[in-house]
Structure 1
Amino acid sequence: MTTDSPSVVPTTDGPTVVYRGRNLYSPATPITACRRRVAALTIPDHSLVLVPSPLLGHGLTDLLHKCGPGCRVLLVELEAPLAALARQRLPAALLDDSRVTFCAAERVQELERCFPLELRSRCERVISVNLSAGSQLHSREYTQLLHWLQDEIRRAWQNRITTIHMARLWFRNLIANLPLLPVSRPITGVAVERPVLVLGAGPSLEPLLAELRRQRDQLFVMAVDTALPVLVAHGITVDAVVALEPQHANLGDFLGVDCRAPLLLADLFSYPAVVRLFTPHHTLFFASHPLDSRLIDKLQAHGLMPLQIPPLGSVGVAAVKLATCIYGGPVAFAGLDFAYADGKTHARGAPMLQRQHQTARRLSGDRIYTACLARPRLRQPDKQGGRCQTDMVLLSYAEQLRSLTTGSPRLYDLGVCGLPTGAPRLDGIAEFLRVAGTSQIGAASGLSCRLRATSVSATTAASHAAARQQTATVRAALDEQLSLLARIEEQVTNRAARDPQILSALLQAADYLYAETSAPSAGDEASLRRMLAAARYYRIQIGRALRNLERLTARRF
């Protein structure tokens, strides 16, 4: 950044700005040129309008007149002297408009904190409007910001569509898993004592299996659910399994697998039947927090929410994030390719490939190959300098993984194919162990991990007291929701005694009833009937969870 001061020079058409020897507006018609540029624009409603280097605000009033009520306007300045000028000279009426946000920083990374999720998620597209030559001083950074905003809006709408389809399932799983919290272990109670290797089920897992069998005892092996059958088929035991999937299809990943020995790192929103396959004291919950809700806030206030991580979409990316949370040393990963060849999407032995092969017939053709051809595919650069095949969903997962590896020197990529992850690539496990510098330590250690404070089989008075307290807290939280739903049912069904204000407050407190739709109106009978059906559905789920809690309590105590 320069310390030169910009000069405001009057012209017959209004003031212009001279900075570092150049005019940042038209030297003859600064205002007219900006207004002419804005007049040529078409700005649909619900657009996020990015205005780099707004300077004196020429043309911005006309721009706001063209923006609908759903639009948001971002005024961004990366040059410190020009930011100071904008703060002094931008019209107060412009900055007071609720649609306008002014941000200034010396680095584009600092700007990302200026844009709350609410600002991004309510818009449908990004439109960049350059009204001054000040944008050319940092053209690459402004382009980077534009692409970041586009990705954020795409991700926000992708998450919203996922919420429409999955919200009820997430909340059902959450309620069903709550009774398991008192008999599980806190994820912070794991002490990992060897370098961590995270394994996905991508094709790059296969070349690593032979070396993994030789070096197994020197590693803490953390497998995603779909990679578990592949490893078991090759005689490789795992220390921990990560489960994130909320749907019943996840059960197929554990068929024929002995789930009593490994730890299970399970999302609190994951499929409850998968959690029940594992030893309760080997279960460690985390929360991916896929959506905001008053219910989750309540559980947080009660101290029932475990370790929280951002919603990362892919179980492989979540596993890498969890590995960095439970271990402070080097973490390597493989099998997270986020790319595929036609006819082979996973490593041999993965459940998806197994199911397709079991159902294949002479006349049915290769269903995996057909499914690959049916997906909209993208050709992207791969780790070897060539090109690989992927799609938008897998590409977004790779971007999430790159966001984790950026600025983290202890993450390493052992994969030989797929999309670049941003982590340093190593040639196999032996090189990873040399980099970790703990090969001898791992060989001398008797365990790859242990549970702090107490062993898995030990039960102490302190742990019993804590479990009893958490059981009581879970029971109180579920009873509170039952009471809330009963009051909603009474307000909806008894029209004569209905109070719209009370009903609106009750519905806001139980916002999980309409997480997949918009908030209902207290005067809309059709939407209230939907809320009534949802309330009765969740009362059944909560009642079932309370009975399960009593059964687990009686079994343990």
Structure 2
Amino acid sequence: MLELQEGQQIAPEKPCLVYTERGFSLSYQGRFLYSKYAPDRAILGTIQNLTLLPGTLIIAVSPALWLGLDSLLEKLPENCFLLGVEFDEKLHDFADSELKKITENLDSVKKENLLSKVALLPYPDNDYIVNILSGEDFPSKNEASSILPHISTFRRAIPLEMSAGSQFNKEKYRDFASQAENTIASFWKNRITLTKLGRLYSRNLFKNLGNLSGAIDFRKLSRTVSQPIFVFGAGESIEETIQNISRSQLEKCFIIAVDAAAPALKAFGLRIDAIIAVEGQLAIEKAYIGASGKDSLIIADITSRPQVTRHRKKALTFFASKYTDSSFFKNLSGKAFFPPVIPPLGSVGLTAIHIASLLRKNQNVPIFVSGLDFSFSLGRTHGKNTPAHIARLSAANRFSPAENYAAAFRAGAKAIAGKNAIPVITDQALSGYALSFADFFKGMANLYDCGKQGLPLSIQEISSEKTRMYLETIEEERPAFTAEEDSAPEERKSNQSEIHSFLESEEKALNRIKELLMFGNDVASCSCSLEDELTALISPREYLFLHFPDGYKCESHDISFLKRLRSQIDFFLKDIKNELKK
């Protein structure tokens, strides 16, 4: 490495040390990355004013000389980690060599302590922070990529500019820090969801496995719809759409409805080709009262409420939302009988759009959207004739009006200007879905928002009048979608046999776990210890503990964990036995 003395010329093409009276500064690309007079003054001042909380991932932006590292380490609370990130390859190599110099001068204990709290992200991994935090595979993954503790260690991520090298790639560093923050936040949001609903999702999955062999393989429906697709949510904007576009024109399209929108479309007399069923709880069955889904293809999530599949005369098909990254789900999704896996989109509306994009023959087939408002108006929460609206009407009396004003004044609700400057009310959850919609579908070809009100979806907006004019150009009314039961009995029989074998293996494993927990070493295997056998059986079956507050880890050595786990086994054994009897 070149070290320059005072008066020597600065070489701008590579990082060069520059001597000052108060230590070395660094020059690169014709600029100093630290002060020429006091190189560490700025970063030390920043660290001094920095407030750190336990469980913080600190993104050390362009660490270069790692000035201030000692002061920062002294200030770190528990469960914190300093991750250096450099998007300039030459500066990255320089920072890597500087960190190695720092560690070489430490004894073994201090070196181990530093490396447990500090690391520089390998240059090829800069674009994969989401994968690294989530523990997912990515193209450049190797042993050096596994430098961060488990994501459950962190509660937040903050960026810290350690040199002026951050100015070379400002947008990249901003996106990197944002991705890290969002990934950590999503992990804990998912943990809250799984704590509340994780067991329900897993139990529904086992119950739906029995229906897979008689259902159509969703893969056979993919890329089969050549007509325009119309996706309806349950928001208020659905009313304007069905009032301004005639039934005959709408029925030229392939109609997809989220389950809560089905009664409203049925009341309008509209034929529904497919209903998307995602909800796993009892409340959703209200959407099927009055035979709303009898004449439609049910496209159900494998974790959705199994009972809704009874409300049909036509075919059934399944997909699988990736509700967990567990080994159990990964192993199951690799089996031939398991339905195709889609990303966890969180909202039935987003899922319906994704399913529509999979069904359309190609990107030239337009998808129209209405009723995905992610907001509501004063006194209303859903469109007319949806289950929520009908429930308010049926319960109304002189003391409790049909209008739902309470929703607009609950904690977190706020009024904003939506599409077409129409005032709407939303909250953090609903607006979060709108942002997720934009993230997933912004830029998708031929996706149009027909909703007159609601939050902007960041896709092309189109009025009902223009949609009607387009549909008028379609000469013939398309025939009803006629997806029938799978006509390959040998394939159905094979799937049934594989599902049966899988359920039997799970039943055997659960009974063995139960036996080991009840009788301990008296029935333990001679080939391994009790704890090792329990770990081998429990760790790939996360559905047993996924809903625990600490369900992101298998603590088979912890007696409290094992007691809680024992209480869950009988629920799943009951579900598995019921499916085996079918």
Deviates more, 1:500-509 or 1:218-227: 500-509
Deviation at 1:195, TM superposition (A): 1.3
Instruction: Work out which of the residue numbers 342, 347, 357 in structure 1 matches 2:378.
Output: 342
Conservation of the 8 A alpha-carbon contact between 1:4 and 1:81: no
Judged with a 3 Å threshold, the aligned counterparts in structure 2 of structure 1 residues 104 and 214 are, in CA distance, closer, same or farther, namely farther
Instruction: Work out which of the residue numbers 440, 444, 447 in structure 1 matches 2:479.
Output: 447
Amino acid at match of 2:425: Q
Specify the SS of the correspondent of 1:215. Answer: helix
Amino acid at match of 2:283: A
Q: For 2:383 and 2:539, locate their aligned partners in 1 and report how far apart those are by CA, in whole Å.
A: 46
Q: TM-score, normalised by structure 2?
A: 0.84
Judged with a 3 Å threshold, the aligned counterparts in structure 2 of structure 1 residues 48 and 66 are, in CA distance, closer, same or farther, namely same
Please list, as runs of the form range in 1=range in 2, the aligned pairs for 1:344-383 lying within 5 A after superposition: 344-365=380-401, 368-380=404-416, 382-383=418-419
Specify the SS of the correspondent of 1:185. Answer: coil
Instruction: Work out which of the residue numbers 306, 330, 346 in structure 2 matches 1:313.
Output: 346
Q: Is 1:392 aligned to 2:401, yes or no?
A: no
Conservation of the 8 A alpha-carbon contact between 1:193 and 1:449: no
Q: For 2:210 and 2:465, locate their aligned partners in 1 and report how far apart those are by CA, in whole Å.
A: 40
Deviation at 1:397, TM superposition (A): 0.8
Conservation of the 8 A alpha-carbon contact between 2:333 and 2:341: no
Amino acid at match of 2:429: V
Q: Which residue of 2 aligns with 1:131?
A: 162
Judged with a 3 Å threshold, the aligned counterparts in structure 2 of structure 1 residues 387 and 138 are, in CA distance, closer, same or farther, namely farther
Q: Is 1:172 aligned to 2:203, yes or no?
A: yes
Deviation at 1:72, TM superposition (A): 3.0
Provide the alpha-carbon RMSD of the alignment.
2.8
Judged with a 3 Å threshold, the aligned counterparts in structure 2 of structure 1 residues 188 and 402 are, in CA distance, closer, same or farther, namely same
Q: Is 1:198 aligned to 2:231, yes or no?
A: yes
Q: String of CA shifts for 1:120-142, please: whole Å, max 9, x gaps.
A: 55421222222222323444543
Q: Which residue of 1 aligns with 2:298?
A: 264
Deviation at 1:367, TM superposition (A): 6.5
Q: String of CA shifts for 1:435-479, please: whole Å, max 9, x gaps.
A: xxx875x5447436455xxxx2683xxx10000000000100000
Specify the SS of the correspondent of 1:170. Answer: helix
Conservation of the 8 A alpha-carbon contact between 1:57 and 1:91: no
Q: Which residue of 2 aligns with 1:292?
A: 325
Q: Which residue of 2 aligns with 1:555?
A: none
Amino acid at match of 2:281: Q
Q: Is 1:324 aligned to 2:357, yes or no?
A: yes
Conservation of the 8 A alpha-carbon contact between 2:375 and 2:424: yes
Please list, as runs of the form range in 1=range in 2, the aligned pairs for 1:363-512 lying within 5 A after superposition: 363-365=399-401, 368-380=404-416, 382-385=418-421, 388-428=424-464, 430-431=466-467, 434=470, 443-444=475-476, 446-447=478-479, 449=481, 451=483, 456=484, 459=487, 463-497=488-522, 498=524, 499-512=530-543
Judged with a 3 Å threshold, the aligned counterparts in structure 2 of structure 1 residues 90 and 294 are, in CA distance, closer, same or farther, namely closer
Deviation at 1:401, TM superposition (A): 0.7
Amino acid at match of 1:224: V
Judged with a 3 Å threshold, the aligned counterparts in structure 2 of structure 1 residues 212 and 78 are, in CA distance, closer, same or farther, namely farther
Q: Which residue of 1 aligns with 2:34?
A: 25
Q: For 1:473 and 1:429, locate their aligned partners in 2 and report how far apart those are by CA, in whole Å.
A: 51
Deviation at 1:234, TM superposition (A): 0.8
Deviates more, 1:379-388 or 1:119-128: 379-388
Conservation of the 8 A alpha-carbon contact between 1:120 and 1:149: no
Conservation of the 8 A alpha-carbon contact between 1:342 and 1:373: no
Deviation at 1:58, TM superposition (A): 1.5
Q: For 1:258 and 1:250, locate their aligned partners in 2 and report how far apart those are by CA, in whole Å.
A: 12
Structure 2 unmatched ranges of 5 or more: 1-11, 104-110, 136-149, 525-529
Amino acid at match of 1:241: I
Q: For 1:153 and 1:8, locate their aligned partners in 2 and report how far apart those are by CA, in whole Å.
A: 37
Amino acid at match of 2:353: V
Greater share of helix residues, 1 or 2? 1
Q: String of CA shifts for 1:178-201, please: whole Å, max 9, x gaps.
A: 010000001122211201111101
Deviates more, 1:139-148 or 1:282-291: 139-148
Conservation of the 8 A alpha-carbon contact between 1:252 and 1:351: yes
Conservation of the 8 A alpha-carbon contact between 1:6 and 1:18: yes
Q: For 1:249 and 1:416, locate their aligned partners in 2 and report how far apart those are by CA, in whole Å.
A: 28
Deviates more, 1:162-171 or 1:17-26: 17-26
Q: For 1:236 and 1:113, locate their aligned partners in 2 and report how far apart those are by CA, in whole Å.
A: 43
Instruction: Work out which of the residue numbers 203, 208, 217 in structure 1 matches 2:241.
Output: 208
Q: String of CA shifts for 1:232-264, please: whole Å, max 9, x gaps.
A: 111111111001000011100111025332111
Q: For 1:540 and 1:216, locate their aligned partners in 2 and report how far apart those are by CA, in whole Å.
A: 45
Q: For 2:172 and 2:561, locate their aligned partners in 1 and report how far apart those are by CA, in whole Å.
A: 46
Q: For 2:578 and 2:219, locate their aligned partners in 1 and report how far apart those are by CA, in whole Å.
A: 29
Q: String of CA shifts for 1:502-540, please: whole Å, max 9, x gaps.
A: 122222132211111235644544433322221112111
Specify the SS of the correspondent of 2:451. Answer: coil
Judged with a 3 Å threshold, the aligned counterparts in structure 2 of structure 1 residues 288 and 464 are, in CA distance, closer, same or farther, namely same
Deviation at 1:143, TM superposition (A): 3.5
Specify the SS of the correspondent of 2:20. Answer: coil
Q: For 1:447 and 1:366, locate their aligned partners in 2 and report how far apart those are by CA, in whole Å.
A: 39
Instruction: Work out which of the residue numbers 561, 569, 577 in structure 2 matches 1:535.
Output: 569
Q: For 1:45 and 1:127, locate their aligned partners in 2 and report how far apart those are by CA, in whole Å.
A: 12
Amino acid at match of 2:369: F
Q: For 2:162 and 2:370, locate their aligned partners in 1 and report how far apart those are by CA, in whole Å.
A: 47
Structure 1 unmatched ranges of 5 or more: 549-557
Q: For 2:489 and 2:284, locate their aligned partners in 1 and report how far apart those are by CA, in whole Å.
A: 32
Q: String of CA shifts for 1:165-223, please: whole Å, max 9, x gaps.
A: 10110111001100100000011222112011111011111110030524123211111
Q: Is 1:46 aligned to 2:55, yes or no?
A: yes
Q: For 2:50 and 2:518, locate their aligned partners in 1 and report how far apart those are by CA, in whole Å.
A: 52
Deviation at 1:276, TM superposition (A): 2.0
Q: For 1:67 and 1:126, locate their aligned partners in 2 and report how far apart those are by CA, in whole Å.
A: 13
Q: Which residue of 2 aligns with 1:302?
A: 335
Q: String of CA shifts for 1:79-108, please: whole Å, max 9, x gaps.
A: 455345434444364998254454487999
Judged with a 3 Å threshold, the aligned counterparts in structure 2 of structure 1 residues 101 and 394 are, in CA distance, closer, same or farther, namely farther
Q: For 1:143 and 1:262, locate their aligned partners in 2 and report how far apart those are by CA, in whole Å.
A: 46
Conservation of the 8 A alpha-carbon contact between 1:193 and 1:447: no
Q: For 1:105 and 1:429, locate their aligned partners in 2 and report how far apart those are by CA, in whole Å.
A: 52
Specify the SS of the correspondent of 2:419. Answer: coil
